[in-house]
Amino acid sequence: MIFSESRQFIFFAVPKTGTHAVRDALRPHLSSSDWEQQLRYGQQLSPLPEIAAVNHGHVSYRQLGKAISSETLDTFFRFAFIRHPYDRFVSVCAFLARADASYHQNPADWMKRALERPQFCKRVLVATQHSLLSDESGDVTLDFVGRFESFQTDFNFVCDRLNVPLVALTHRNTSEHKPYQQVLDDELCEILLKRYETDFSVFNYSP
């Protein structure tokens, strides 16, 4: 997450949607009054105790809403990026299993077994994007939701909105994997379709 009081924006970092590329591009334009929360590259924690206690950079809209007033939230330009649920899940698993030989032998089988583990399913990395970006009523009220599939174009819109120079996004924290169409089998697609049903419907993605 990035909370910029100087430029009046909040960036909600959904896992595996290019969040570190966005951070790298916007960080030079932050001032001393702004803060960021992330623990992947070094450690930056929010000055708000409730947010710092989350202990990762993927702070949800609801979590921030409990730490600051709705009036403050409404005055900021709030944005995030999302990704096709199948593609994002494959990227998450490739990242988590990057040193696991069993994953590389049979990725689909590894994913099915992972989804049977309660601890895995509780990870913020595999949470629905809707749960991270919706308010207490279940509505997504962000000002802009960009897509990983049109990453640079959508980020250019953010730059224009924030009045910062356009910059080419770099690749950070990437996962090495084949296209999800070559990884998922029919059974796994059905499991993920049910798990990420709200992401498919709310964000208008086709399975």
Domain ranges within the chain, ordered by starting residue: 2-202
Token representation of residue 147: 């897509």
Instruction: Give mean pLDDT, residues 160-170.
Output: 95
Q: What is the DSSP letter of 158?
A: H
Q: Which residue has the higher pLDDT, 43 or 109?
A: 109
Please write the tens of the pLDDT for every residue from 31-46: 999 999 998 776 789 9
CA distance linking residue 133 with residue 102, whole number of Å: 33
pLDDT (0 to 100) of residue 174: 65
- Kindly provide the b/e burial profile for residues 74-111, where b requires at least 16 CB atoms within 10 angstroms of the residue's own CB: eebbbbbbbbbbbbbbbbbbbbbbeeeeebeeebbebb
CA distance linking residue 82 with residue 13, whole number of Å: 9
Please write the tens of the pLDDT for every residue from 167-206: 999 876 566 778 999 999 999 999 999 999 999 999 999 9
Token representation of residue 91: 């990227």
Instruction: Give mean pLDDT, residues 1-5.
Output: 97
Q: Does the global pTM surpass 0.95?
A: no
